[in-house]
Structure 1
Amino acid sequence: MKSIFSFLLILSAITPLSAQQENAEKNLQIIEGNVQHERRARREIWDEAQHLVLKRDFSELERISTLYRNEKSLTPSGDWKLRHFYNALASTKTSFDESELEGARRRERVAREWLEKIPTSPTASVLIASELLAQGWTQRGYGPGSSVSDKQARIFRAFVRDAKAQLVASASYAKVDPEWHHMMIETMMLEGGPVDEYFGALHQALNLAPTYIPLAASAVRRFQPKWGGSIDDLDAIINSIASRNNVEDGKIMYTRMYIAVSRELTSPAMTNIFRDSKADWSKVKEGFEALLARHPTLWNKNLFAEFACDAGDGETFERLIKENILEERLWAYNSRLRVCLNWAGPGAGPSND
């Protein structure tokens, strides 16, 4: 009798644990499914674009890019598919040993072939400009100006001029594409032209596509201190761009732009934008809540948790982790998640000193 009673006690202890394990496995499957949903969407864009480039199927490439542009198609996390399409076009390789410069030259030739077949293709024209800039960067190098020789600087400036000339020549048919505007303001930044002209071009771009993330990211780069800007300039341009949208889009853009600031300015040293810039956590938080109302993906929830941690908002961070949403692969720095998990609690925050 005693042995049966002991067995029942053991069984009662085991059963809840098995249920917990089962629930944990289900939660992990849900997390993996959500993460893979976004990654799968991006991968499908990349695979299709690269496959069609290798086939020289310019008609289908044109159809897809036009569709993404006209419908402002988004991935599950709310990112423009058009942006990932361009990233894919600019990343095709024919072999593993193809150098960066060789790849850029080949992609430029393919884009010119595309434009010859479809003379008013915005995508082909933008890709030509993009690959000209890529060739300039590979020959200049990616280091600070002090590490660049006079010859490298001259070569780079020539490619920037050629890229801008390509954009100007295609303006009559390509200005419908937000990536054309993105490339234009990039060349203007690299030329070091007047700020007023840059602002004019940026606002024209935002009139067309106020939620196109590369435009916001470019503005963030332009007004960094290393480009002659300041923290005050960054905050002013972020608030200006956010205010151009409707209320909900404006909240989201404010948050997305400060995400871009964090990615541009932070490093594994974990610089905190809520300490080192004018980012307003209450506004960033509103933006995340608006974003999740539209796109409640694990991708976006992990971003929210990461920034709640940086802001020292333990209550929000704890609320998010109770949903079992944390996925280390989605954090900018894996070590950051571990730091955040050590302090979670209302009013607490990790040290960045």
Structure 2
Amino acid sequence: MTGYRMNGLWHTIRLAITAIGCIAAMAATAKSPARYGWDMRPQECFAEPRPQTKMCLPRYPWDKRWNKCFAEGADPMLPGCKLEDVWTSYAESVTKLEWLFMLGEFELFERGLTDITTTDARFDSGNLKFRAATRAISTFLPSTGRIDGNLISRWKEALPSSAFVVIGEAMELHKQAWTVRGSGYAATVSPESWELFTIRLQQAEKKLLEASPSIKDTPLWHYMLLEVVLDSPKLENSFEKVFGNAIKRWPRAFAFYDLVLYRMTPKWGGSWEVIDAFIQDRSRIMESSEGLSMYARLYLLLPEEDLVLGATKMDWGKMRPSFADLVARYPDRIYKNRYASFACLARDKAAFAQAMALLPREELRPQAWLDGHSYDACMRWSTT
């Protein structure tokens, strides 16, 4: 989806880091966990058998609280003993989770997953924090879509009773399905590939439906199930049922809308008319909690090329006040940049001036501007 694209250089760097992390993860499953330089626990915590006291439980690498904060009966409000929320941005949260996984610190990795999937807290964008979990887990799927010898299986070996590992396994099966199918149009897919595609999706759905009740009570599980059932009508659950259950529980979990809107595009047999009706309907339903912001938020989830070419039914007359409300409610810098770029696309100088007034220089992100309507081009246009 457009909100989670990475440029080629950053993707290459991430793959290199992941390769290095594989070595650490394999080592971690082959011997007792090492004491890393950042570990502040006292030496007795590393004796065998490992003490299970509060003082000796594993800690996040970024947890620099004094050992006195972990003593039995310690007051958590002592100076320096409060652990601040570190899951404050999408990118940083993904990086932290990936780091823990690559180090083979699966217990801490799952603690992080619990932190961000059992909270209603949001990033500045308004998105629930669980979305960082799906991105982090997907990093460790094998590039070929095979199951053999990858990090997901090592995660399961390290924590056999894990409730979260089923998400990784379902992601693997979902990826296998698409590896078999390919990314071409339906007419290019052989009957045998369609059969295998359906089988892998059925296996993924079965994995998720057999998951523990604790993981089923998270938006992460609902998101993964929705992603699977959207791909085939031959599964036990319909996407309408799964989507309805998900937004009934988490109506402001915007990642659910992202999945559904993508499947509504003409590429997948939908239409811009259906999409526009959906966006207007959801905007009306959510107006009491989201004001006018949903119209712009949902249109931003559509493919950028279609928006720039004017293929959609987006109405700038509705988009402009919706953008203003979106930025006011969720001051994410990406929204501020998008507001200005869309105003430039619409050739609306008044809206462009308003958007630029809300965009401090330090929050300028040229990569967030629309293709063909870059910051430099729009600034040039605004002065003519």
TM-score, normalising length: structure 2: 0.67
In 1, distance between residues paired with 2:229 and 2:305? Answer: 19
How far apart are 1:211 and its partner, in Å? 2.1
How far apart are 1:92 and its partner, in Å? 3.0
In 1, distance between residues paired with 2:138 and 2:185? Answer: 24
- What SS class does the counterpart of residue 197 from structure 2 fall into? helix
2:216 equivalent to 1:175: yes
2:304 equivalent to 1:263: yes
Identify if the C-alpha distance between structure 1 residues 264 and 301 changes in structure 2 by more than 3 Å, giving closer, same or farther: same
Q: Structure 1 stretch 296-305 or stretch 77-86: which is displaced more?
A: 77-86
In 2, distance between residues paired with 1:107 and 1:240? Answer: 42
1:303 partner letter: R
Identify if the C-alpha distance between structure 1 residues 104 and 169 changes in structure 2 by more than 3 Å, giving closer, same or farther: same
How far apart are 1:63 and its partner, in Å? 2.2
2:367 equivalent to 1:329: yes
Aligned to 1:53: 101
Identify if the C-alpha distance between structure 1 residues 43 and 233 changes in structure 2 by more than 3 Å, giving closer, same or farther: closer
Identify if the C-alpha distance between structure 1 residues 160 and 136 changes in structure 2 by more than 3 Å, giving closer, same or farther: same
1:328 partner letter: P
Instruction: Select which of 197, 203, 208 maps to 1:162.
Output: 203
Instruction: Select which of 355, 363, 376 maps to 1:320.
Output: 355
Any conservation in 2 of the 1:90–1:107 contact (CA below 8 Å)? no
In 2, distance between residues paired with 1:99 and 1:262? Answer: 24
Identify if the C-alpha distance between structure 1 residues 218 and 297 changes in structure 2 by more than 3 Å, giving closer, same or farther: closer
Aligned to 1:106: 150
Identify if the C-alpha distance between structure 1 residues 160 and 312 changes in structure 2 by more than 3 Å, giving closer, same or farther: same
Instruction: Select which of 259, 284, 290 maps to 2:319.
Output: 284
2:168 equivalent to 1:127: yes
Aligned to 2:89: 41
In 1, distance between residues paired with 2:154 and 2:315? Answer: 45
After TM superposition, list the pairs within 5 Å mapping 1:51-130 onto structure 2.
51-92=99-140, 99-102=143-146, 106-110=150-154, 112-113=156-157, 116-118=160-162, 121=163, 123-130=164-171
In 1, distance between residues paired with 2:319 and 2:275? Answer: 15
In 1, distance between residues paired with 2:233 and 2:304? Answer: 23
In 2, distance between residues paired with 1:111 and 1:159? Answer: 21
Which stretches in structure 2 are left out of the alignment for 5+ residues? 1-87
Identify if the C-alpha distance between structure 1 residues 103 and 171 changes in structure 2 by more than 3 Å, giving closer, same or farther: closer
Aligned to 2:379: 341
After TM superposition, list the pairs within 5 Å mapping 1:114-263 onto structure 2.
116-118=160-162, 121=163, 123-170=164-211, 172-192=213-233, 197-249=238-290, 251-263=292-304
Aligned to 2:62: none
2:323 partner letter: F
In 1, distance between residues paired with 2:216 and 2:281? Answer: 22
How far apart are 1:144 and its partner, in Å? 1.8
Any conservation in 1 of the 2:152–2:165 contact (CA below 8 Å)? no
In 1, distance between residues paired with 2:114 and 2:234? Answer: 31
Question: 4+ residue stretches of structure 1 with deviation over 4 A?
Answer: 102-105, 322-326
- What SS class does the counterpart of residue 279 from structure 1 fall into? coil
In 1, distance between residues paired with 2:305 and 2:224? Answer: 18
Which digits, 9 at most, give the CA deviation of each residue in 1:189-216, with x for residues without a partner? Answer: 211359x943232121111222222211
How far apart are 1:161 and its partner, in Å? 1.0
Identify if the C-alpha distance between structure 1 residues 224 and 213 changes in structure 2 by more than 3 Å, giving closer, same or farther: same
- What SS class does the counterpart of residue 261 from structure 1 fall into? coil
- What SS class does the counterpart of residue 76 from structure 1 fall into? coil
2:161 partner letter: K
In 2, distance between residues paired with 1:83 and 1:264? Answer: 24
How far apart are 1:313 and its partner, in Å? 2.2
Identify if the C-alpha distance between structure 1 residues 132 and 231 changes in structure 2 by more than 3 Å, giving closer, same or farther: same
Which digits, 9 at most, give the CA deviation of each residue in 1:295-330, with x for residues without a partner? Answer: 324322101112222333221112333555443122
How far apart are 1:163 and its partner, in Å? 0.8
TM-score, normalising length: structure 1: 0.72
2:340 equivalent to 1:305: yes
1:331 partner letter: W
Q: Structure 1 stretch 320-329 or stretch 129-138: which is displaced more?
A: 320-329
How far apart are 1:115 and its partner, in Å? 6.3
Which digits, 9 at most, give the CA deviation of each residue in 1:260-297, with x for residues without a partner? Answer: 1243745xxx313xxx3222334333332233223324
Any conservation in 2 of the 1:104–1:131 contact (CA below 8 Å)? no
In 1, distance between residues paired with 2:216 and 2:167? Answer: 10
